[in-house]
Structure formats: structure tokens, C-alpha cells
Structure 1
Amino acid sequence: MSAVLHVRDVLPSEAESVRLFLEQNGWAHRLGSTERFAQLIASSQRTALAVKDAQIVGFDRGITDSLSNGYLSMVVVSGQHRREGVGRALVEHVMGENTDITWVLRAGREGASEFCSRLGFEPSSIAMERPRSR
């Protein structure tokens, strides 16, 4: 019998557990210190944590005005749990029910474009990006 997936908001006390999960899943370059990452979580209007068998298997965060625009960031699912609906559940949790919001998601990783398309995202010819300094 497979474990039940639970998707919920991230609690402030879980920031370090989430940071460690992201570090283990190839995102160390984006995390910074424990304090900086806790601030990143606190500054995100929406977060989602996917848990199976008391283990974190996915994370997502979003920044939005909750009326018109939103940006999904760091949609991360552990390798052994991909293609099980975890990513979809995370994205749907963060986006919520308001279909009047235009959501943007960068799809630079392998397989991300196909994943985004299955969730109703379309390539955009109007987006511009000013990358962060390295």
C-alpha cells in the first residue's frame, strides 16, 4: 500500500527542514544561510510542502498580489517521487482557486516545459527577465 501524500502550507518552524531538503535536491546554490532562507520563506505569500511517510518529498513557493499576478518559484520534487502527482499537487496548492490570476513559472530545467504544459501553462512571447547577479 502506497503512502498518502499530504500537501500543506509550510510552517515557519519548518524552514530549516525545507532548506535541507532543497540542498539535498540540487538547490544549494539558491538557498544561502539558514537565516536568509527563513526570511525567504517568511516573505513568500504562498508556500507548499508535500509530505509522504513523514518525509518531505516536495516544496513550492509563490509570490503574488492575490488579484492579478503570481510567480511560482522553486517547484522541487525529490527524484524518487517524480511523476507521482506531487508537483501538480504543490503547484495547485500554491495557485489556489482564483483563475483571474496570471501565473508565471520559469521552466529551465529538463522536463519542466512538459510538466508546465500539463498544468495549463503556455510559452509566452511577452515575458522579459532581468537575471540576478551571480
Structure 2
Amino acid sequence: MIYTTSLQDITEHMLEGFFNDWENAPTPATHLHLLERSYKVVVAIDEEKNEVVGFITAISDGLLSASISFLEVLPQYRGQGIGKDLLKEMLEELDHLYMIDVVGDETVKQFCEELGFQPSIGMVKRNLAFQSGKED
């Protein structure tokens, strides 16, 4: 497994299988745009299959704060520490910032706490009509 911040050789076909539990999932093309437009990105690549098996993205003002917006690992690769490794890599990318926020489900809570995150109260609003992504 390799972890990289470069999207240079990442193609749409390498992004199949993500968002599989979403009702109205983004296409691989939209997924690639999402990665390209993020402030920071780290992808996990299975070198043998030349396939992206996990990714994490952050949006930021580049000065004080960042929010980790996506962290996903393909179902068949879960439970191998890839998500935690992606988060560690992203924290290194963002270590110059004052605050880093993560909103996620229970599956990420433990390893977030292990990496120094503290529980917080948060709110989210979702517009499901645009769940697949709205291209410019």
C-alpha cells in the first residue's frame, strides 16, 4: 500500500466502488473533481491492482482552520488500518494549522481520539438533491 498526496496518475477508472452506500452517489468523474478541488488530499493505492482503495480530503482557509470532509476506504480493504493511516498522513499535511475538525460516524471515533481529537458538539445539514455532486 502506498499513500500519496499527488493526483498526477489518478484516473477515473481507479476510483470505482466508492460511495457505494450512498443513494445518489457521485460518479468517478465527479469523485476525481472532488479530489482535485480539495485543499489537501491523500490517497491510498493498492500497487498490485493499481487501484485507489481509500482517500481523505480537507478543505481549508490555509491559515487557521481545516475540515476533513471525506475519509473513505473501499469495503474490502476496511479493518486493515488504512483509514487511520490516511488520517495520520492528512494530519501531517495540516500540522501548520490551529484547528482541524472531523465530522464522521462511530467507525472513525476511536482512531480519531487515538490521534488527539476531542469530542465536540457539531451540526450538519445535507441537501440530498445534490448528493451526487453539482458540476460547474
Name the TM-score, length of structure 1 as normaliser.
0.73
Structure 1 residue runs of 5 or longer lacking an equivalent are: none
In 2, Cα distance between equivalents of 1:35 and 1:51: 18
Matched, 1:63 2:62: no
- 1:97 Cα shift? 5.4
In 1, Cα distance between equivalents of 2:15 and 2:43: 12
- 1:77 Cα shift? 1.8
**Matches of residues 1-134 of structure 1 in structure 2 within 5 Å?**
5-11=1-7, 13-23=9-19, 26-29=20-23, 31-55=25-49, 56-95=52-91, 96=93, 98=95, 100-108=97-105, 110-125=106-121, 127-134=122-129
- Asked if the contact 1:12–1:41 (Cα under 8 Å) also holds between the matched residues in 2, the reply is no
- 1:20 Cα shift? 0.9
- Asked if the contact 2:16–2:28 (Cα under 8 Å) also holds between the matched residues in 1, the reply is no
* Structure having greater relative contact order (Cα 8 Å, sep ≥ 6): 2
In 2, Cα distance between equivalents of 1:107 and 1:14: 25
- 1:112 Cα shift? 2.1
Structural RMSD (CA) = 2.6
- 1:10 Cα shift? 4.3
- Asked if the contact 1:19–1:31 (Cα under 8 Å) also holds between the matched residues in 2, the reply is no
Percent identity (aligned)? 21
- Asked if the contact 1:22–1:28 (Cα under 8 Å) also holds between the matched residues in 2, the reply is no
Q: Secondary structure at the match of 2:126?
A: coil
Indicate the larger mover: 7-16 or 57-66: 7-16
The structure-2 alpha-carbon separation of the partners of 1:97 and 1:121, relative to structure 1 and needing over 3 Å to count, comes to: same
Structure 2 residue runs of 5 or longer lacking an equivalent are: 130-136
The structure-2 alpha-carbon separation of the partners of 1:43 and 1:97, relative to structure 1 and needing over 3 Å to count, comes to: closer
Q: Secondary structure at the match of 1:14?
A: coil
The number of residues matched between the two structures is: 126
Name the TM-score, length of structure 2 as normaliser.
0.72
